[in-house]
Amino acid sequence: MEIVFLFYDGMTALDAIGPHEILSRLPGAVVKLAAISAGDILTSSDLIMKADYALSDVQRADILVIPGAKTATSLRKFPAILEWIDKVHQTTTWTTSVCTGSLILGAAGLLSGVKATSHWATLERLSAYGAIPVSERIVESGKIITAAGVSAGIDMALMLAAKVSGEQVAKTLQLAIEYDPAPPFDAGSPAKAGPELVNALRAKMLNVFEKK
């Protein structure tokens, strides 16, 4: 079972690392980390990750994972990446994204008429690609699964693990990584954080997320 992660400069590290921690442990998993060119990738938090394969070396995947970034929509300037996503998508059992990775799926032409989610601050931008924005943590639409902001990628990967290898395997992996969230604050979503915090952060993010 080939599991392929798209890597690119500026990507959000946890968008890939969270799902990788789970999916790489699935029975029979062969993980490939692919970028335009093999080599070092500088993430948005200055963590350096390494792509083992060039996109040209990867022609198919059983599971494709597209992480997001603050500048996710900048990938529209790289048609070779979008064409590669579309090509590999034709071979997948599951095509997935985390956070603003769904905007990349949209730019690749995969979300027309498809229900999808993204980071709450960019959710409505999915409409520009013909997608149907859904404010949920995980959205499954056919073989496309999109996850909301950053940490939702872990939930998505556990859901996918259950689909691929069964619930018992997924539960075992959850226990193995001791994924039992108990955050010190109940402010992890706009509904819980309150309008003052949400509005302040949204204004800040307007200067962070790349505009169309």
Express each pLDDT in 148-169 by its tens digit. Answer: 999 999 999 999 999 999 999 9
- What are the beta bridge partners of residue 207? none
Strand partners, 175: none
Q: Which of 12, 10, 2 is nearest to 150 (CA)?
A: 12
Q: Which residues pair with 140 in a beta bridge?
A: 145
The pLDDT score that the predictor gives to residue 170 is: 98
Residue 134 belongs to domain spanning: 2-182
pLDDT tens, position by position, 73-110: 888 889 999 999 999 999 999 999 999 999 999 999 99
Query: Contact at 8 Å (CB) between 88 and 59?
Result: yes
Q: Which of 17-21, 43-47, 117-121, 186-190 has the lowest mean pLDDT?
A: 186-190
- Cα separation, 190 vs 199, in Å, equals 9
Lookup result for tokens 């498809």: 114
Mean pLDDT of the chain: 94
Give 172-188 pLDDT, tens digit per residue. Answer: 999 999 999 998 988 78
Percent of the chain with pLDDT over 90: 82
Query: Does residue 65 lie in a domain region?
Result: yes
- Is residue 210 assigned to a domain? no
3-state SS, residue 47: coil
- How distant is the alpha carbon of residue 83 from its chain centre? 18
Q: How many domains are contained in the chain?
A: 1
Q: Which two tokens stand for residue 185?
A: 């604050």
Long-range contacts formed by 75-78: CB under 8 A, 24+ apart: 75/8, 75/104, 75/107, 76/107, 78/8, 78/36
Is 188 inside a domain boundary? no
Q: Is the pLDDT of residue 212 over 50?
A: no
Amino acid in position 135: S
Query: What's the one-letter identity of residue 191?
Result: A
Which residue in 109, 100, 51 sits closest to 74, CA to CA?
100
More confident residue, 186 or 21: 21
Look up the CATH number of the domain holding residue 120.
3.40.50.880
Evaluate if residue 207 carries a pLDDT over 80. Answer: no
Please give the pLDDT value at position 186. Answer: 83
205 lies in a domain? no
126 within some domain: yes
pLDDT over 90 (residue 203): no
Active site residues: 99
> Is 207 inside any structural domain?
no
Residue 32 domain flag? yes
Tell me the C-alpha to C-alpha distance, in Å, between residue 139 and each of 96, 159, 162. 10, 11, 15
